[in-house]
Structure 1
Amino acid sequence: MSTGLLLFFVSSTFLFICYYVVIVQNREQSQMSVMMAAMAGGMTAGLLFGTIMGLLLRGDFVQSTILGIVIGMTIGAFLGLPSQLITTIEGMLAGLMGGMMGAMVGEMSPVGQEDSLLKFLFMMSLIVLLFTVRLFHAPSKSLFITFLRNPLIALLLVLFVFLAFEQVTTFFPEEQGDPIQHHSVLRFR
């Protein structure tokens, strides 16, 4: 595993810990808002990690789909646990759908464009998190969440993360061998 991919995993894990903190801080608010937050977190987690599984296990679509679904459902359930059972189910089902779609996207993405795809999906997940933070109107006990509600701070955070990811040279090292070989069903000799 490359250093860039490890950095991506750590960043993604931190992102979903932030989702969890937002849900825990606001679990007493409207059930619909908490369900929406769990659904957004489960879907973006499924998309991100499903895409990573599709990219890492390119050529083995069944295994990447299963792993993407399991990871998405696990994170979705984890995000829904602080609230009611229906929120947990909503997070799990959104994670299932996101993991399945992410594995398809990872499997079908062109070789050599993996980094751009992962950066784009991470940025979309971050933007969805920032919109989710703005969803809750009650004063928060967390200074971090109150800080993120400021739209200017949110914009600066997105720009900072984008620039930080642009400094990472590559998530996936250049592969030796023929990348077409992984995709062909019939091999002509």
Structure 2
Amino acid sequence: MTTGLLLFFIAATILFVCYYVVIVGNRQGDKMSVMMTAMAGGMMAGLLFGTIMGILLRGDFVQSTILGMVIGMTIGAFLGMPAHLITLLEGMLAGLMGGMMGAMVGEMATVGQEDSLLKFLFMISLIVLLFLLRLFDLKTNSNIIQFIKNPLLALLLVLFIFLALEKIGSLIPEEQMNPNSHFHSVLAYHIH
């Protein structure tokens, strides 16, 4: 795993922890908005991590689909857990669907353009989070939330994170860029 991919995993984990914090802070509010947040978080997590699995396990579509679905379902369930059982189910099923679609996207991604795809999906996940923060119209004393609620400052934050992602460099290991090589994982069993 490259340093860029490790940093990307850390950034994605922080992003979905932010989704969780939004749900925990508003679980007593509008139930439909909380359910929408769990669904959006589960879908974006499944799509993002499913795409990573599809790219890393290119050529083993079944395994990448299963891992993408499991990761998406787990994050979706985690996001829905603080609210109600139906919210947990909504997040879990959205994560399942996102993981399945993400594995397909990762498998079909053009060799050499995987980094752009992952960075784009991360940025979409961040933008969805910022819209969800505005959805709740949070009445809070937190300077960070007040800062993010300003559309111009939120746009500058997205631009800053985009530039930071571009400075990271390559996210995918070099052996993955070669279309003739096959990435073997610990979970893959090949019967000869």
Secondary structure of the residue that 1:58 maps to in structure 2?
coil
Q: Tell me, which stretches of 5 or more residues in structure 2 are unaligned?
A: 183-192
Maintained 8 Å contact 1:119/1:165 = yes
Which moved further from structure 2: 145-154 or 163-172?
145-154
Aligned residue pairs, count: 182
Maintained 8 Å contact 2:77/2:88 = yes
Q: Tell me, which stretches of 5 or more residues in structure 1 are unaligned?
A: 183-189
Instruction: Write the mapping of 1:4-153 to structure 2, written as runs, cut at 5 A.
Output: 4-140=4-140, 142-153=142-153
Percent identical: 74
Taking the aligned partners of 1:176 and 1:119, their CA distance within structure 2 comes to 17
Judged with a 3 Å threshold, the aligned counterparts in structure 2 of structure 1 residues 143 and 85 are, in CA distance, closer, same or farther, namely farther
Judged with a 3 Å threshold, the aligned counterparts in structure 2 of structure 1 residues 177 and 72 are, in CA distance, closer, same or farther, namely closer
Root mean square deviation of aligned Cα: 1.5
How far has the Cα of 1:181 moved from its partner?
5.8
Opposite residue 146 of structure 2, the aligned amino acid is T
Tell me which residue corresponds to 2:173.
173
Maintained 8 Å contact 1:12/1:122 = yes
Opposite residue 171 of structure 1, the aligned amino acid is L
How far has the Cα of 1:138 moved from its partner?
4.2
Taking the aligned partners of 2:121 and 2:93, their CA distance within structure 1 comes to 19
* TM-score, normalising length: structure 1: 0.92
* TM-score, normalising length: structure 2: 0.90
Taking the aligned partners of 1:38 and 1:60, their CA distance within structure 2 comes to 29
